């Protein structure tokens, strides 16, 4: 198989060729490995590569699932895998191994997705840019090598945009699927809280804010992946309304009725939104009107945004303390200056000051935002909002080498203003790669749905993809 044919296909397109016998799983894996060695290295998007072992696995693969046997990446997020160690982008946690697979890892494999490497992340997956010291340098955006690929699923987004794989695992606890999807011009859906299981080693991440998913070239690939990984796991602490049908079937059909969609053009606390994201929102609104939907300008519901940013930071810092102290205890050592990046050392020190009362109050703050958002959504089926408040930042601007933890969280809160609030509320949300600047820099809008209604987001996303196709845009780097 030639690279140009491989790069033209989404995951289900590859699966169709596998089913017809026109290509083999080994053919696909060989292309992925070759592109991983070249483009993955140039972008610094991959880690824990297992190229030869994965080629052997592909050679003997038995077709299964919707994707039958196509190349895939697991994020270096600590999702358990017996095949791949993990570091969470940290020198302290380097080469963590697992004795079992995560539930989602198994579901990916059952769907016919064959991982051959992990994708890079910032330290502890706590950055809006992927520039971990552990990885020897930044992960670069294929649309502009001086720009961030986003975070924390930055390596995944860069790899999908560069056509190394058509879809890749991501996770999102504060925008970590949607930020890099917006930066790299790919599709990224964050599912509702409780839709995707996190077992068997844990029940939740970051106070219920985090969830697993994928970034993809096409909406239908995300729909098929969601069909594979969604579904309640016995013992899970959260559940959402049950899925009523196949997500893949939903995206194949136009919505049965027009939806009522709120449009947000302003942010909390008068945070500025740059012209390009506002133009993307207006362009998406025009497309939605043309598709027959009712589009209504509206203001976001009032919330104490600064209090939320503090609560989010408290929950993250508490998790830094748990991760660091657990590793130090297992290693029988004390924390050294070069174990963590400066912002994470600051976050660890801050986390040590957080009392039980502030942690519980922080979780309660998330729940209050969930109630405020769901009350607001009673009038609307969807919200259309900016993805980011500005174009993808240049490398170094949000680095963990700059400033204290709380200062970094404050900067991120003004860049990804419309992201983490939906992790707090638990609502599904997707970054739509509909537009780009004249210079080719991606500019995304975001669709947000009612709790448990991924089907509506996917359905409308597919409509927009048909009205303004984005897969033909491919970076040349």
Q: Which residues are catalytic?
A: 75, 152, 176
What percent of the chain is modeled with pLDDT above 70? 100
pLDDT of residue 253: 80
Question: Residue 334, SS3?
Answer: coil
Q: Where are the domains of the chain?
A: 3-467
For residues 446 and 385, the answer to whether their CB atoms sit within 8 Å is yes
The structure tokens 């309304």 sit at 241
- Residue 402, pLDDT > 90, answer no
pLDDT of residue 321: 98
pLDDT of residue 309: 98
- Residue 256, pLDDT > 80, answer no
Instruction: Write down the H helix ranges in 291-355.
Output: 305-331, 342-351
- Per-residue pLDDT, averaged over 303-317, amounts to 98
- Per-residue pLDDT, averaged over 330-336, amounts to 95
pLDDT of residue 257: 84
3-467 has which fold?
Answer: Amidase signature (AS) enzymes (3.90.1300)
Average pLDDT, the chain: 97
What is the distance in angstroms between the CA of the first residue and the CA of the last residue of the chain?
Answer: 22
- Residue 339, pLDDT > 80, answer yes
129-186 pLDDT tens trace: 999 999 999 999 999 999 999 999 999 999 999 999 999 999 999 999 999 999 999 9
For residues 151 and 176, the answer to whether their CB atoms sit within 8 Å is yes
- Per-residue pLDDT, averaged over 76-80, amounts to 98
pLDDT of residue 131: 98
Which residue, among 120, 150, 124, has the nearest Cα to 40 in the 3D structure? Answer: 120
What percent of the chain is modeled with pLDDT above 90? 98
pLDDT of residue 85: 98
Q: What is the pTM of this model?
A: 0.98
Question: Residue 123, SS3?
Answer: helix
Span of 147-161, 232-246, 274-288 with lowest mean pLDDT: 232-246
Long-range contacts: 445-448, Cβ < 8 Å, 24+? 445/277, 445/280, 445/281, 445/283, 445/284, 445/384, 445/385, 445/386, 445/387, 446/178, 446/182, 446/384, 446/385, 446/386, 446/387, 446/418, 447/382, 447/383, 447/384, 448/382, 448/383, 448/384, 448/385, 448/422
- Residue 114, pLDDT > 80, answer yes
- Residue 254, pLDDT > 80, answer no
Burial class (CB in 10 A: 0-12, 13-18, 19+), 53: exposed
- Per-residue pLDDT, averaged over 192-203, amounts to 96
Which residue, among 280, 43, 277, 249, has the nearest Cα to 138 in the 3D structure? Answer: 43
358-394 pLDDT tens trace: 999 999 999 999 999 999 999 999 999 999 999 999 9
pLDDT of residue 100: 98
- Report the alpha-carbon distance of residue 213 to residue 171 in Å, rounded: 6
């Amino acid at each position: 198989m030639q690279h140009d044919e491989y790069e033209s296909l989404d995951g289900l397109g590859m699966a169709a060729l596998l089913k017809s016998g026109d290509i083999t799983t080994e053919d696909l894996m060989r292309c992925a490995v070759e592109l991983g060695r070249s483009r993955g290295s140039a972008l610094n998007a991959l880690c824990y590569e297992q190229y030869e072992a994965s080629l052997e696995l592909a050679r003997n693969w038995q077709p299964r699932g919707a994707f039958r046997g196509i190349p895939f990446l697991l994020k270096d997020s600590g999702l358990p895998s017996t095949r791949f160690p993990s570091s969470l982008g940290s020198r302290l946690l380097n080469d963590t191994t697992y004795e079992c697979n995560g539930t989602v890892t198994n579901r990916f494999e059952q769907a016919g997705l064959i991982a051959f490497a992990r994708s890079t992340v910032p330290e502890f997956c706590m950055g809006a840019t992927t520039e971990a010291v552990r990885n020897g340098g930044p992960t670069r955006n294929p649309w502009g090598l001086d720009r961030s690929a986003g975070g924390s699923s930055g390596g995944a987004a860069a790899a999908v945009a560069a056509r190394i794989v058509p879809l890749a695992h991501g996770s999102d606890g504060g925008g970590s699927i949607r930020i890099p999807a917006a930066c790299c011009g790919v599709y990224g859906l964050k599912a509702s809280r409780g839709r995707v299981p996190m077992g068997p080693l844990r029940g939740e991440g970051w106070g219920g804010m985090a969830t697993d998913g994928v970034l993809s070239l096409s909406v239908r690939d995300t729909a098929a992946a969601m069909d594979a990984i969604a579904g309640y796991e016995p013992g899970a602490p959260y559940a959402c309304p049950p899925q009523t049908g196949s997500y893949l079937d939903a995206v194949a059909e136009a919505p049965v009725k027009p939806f009522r969609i709120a449009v947000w053009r302003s942010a909390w606390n008068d945070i500025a939104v740059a012209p390009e994201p506002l133009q993307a929102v207006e362009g998406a609104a025009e497309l939605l009107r043309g598709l027959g939907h009712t589009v209504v300008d509206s203001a976001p519901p009032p919330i104490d945004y600064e209090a939320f940013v503090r609560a989010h930071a408290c929950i993250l810092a508490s998790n830094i303390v748990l991760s660091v102290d657990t590793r130090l205890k297992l290693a029988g050592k004390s924390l050294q200056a070069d174990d963590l990046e400066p912002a994470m050392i600051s976050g660890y020190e801050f986390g040590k000051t957080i009392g039980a009362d502030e942690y519980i109050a922080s979780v309660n703050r998330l729940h209050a935002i969930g109630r405020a958002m769901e009350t607001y959504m009673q009038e609307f089926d969807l919200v259309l909002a900016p993805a980011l408040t500005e174009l993808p930042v240049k490398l170094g601007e949000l680095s963990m080498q700059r400033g204290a933890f709380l200062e970094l969280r404050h900067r991120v809160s003004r860049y990804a203003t419309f992201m983490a609030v939906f992790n707090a509320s638990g609502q599904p949300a997707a970054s739509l790669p509909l537009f780009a600047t004249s210079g080719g820099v991606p500019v995304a809008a975001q669709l947000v749905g009612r709790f448990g209604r991924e089907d509506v987001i996917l359905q409308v996303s597919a409509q927009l993809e048909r009205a303004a196709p984005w897969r033909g845009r491919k970076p040349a780097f």
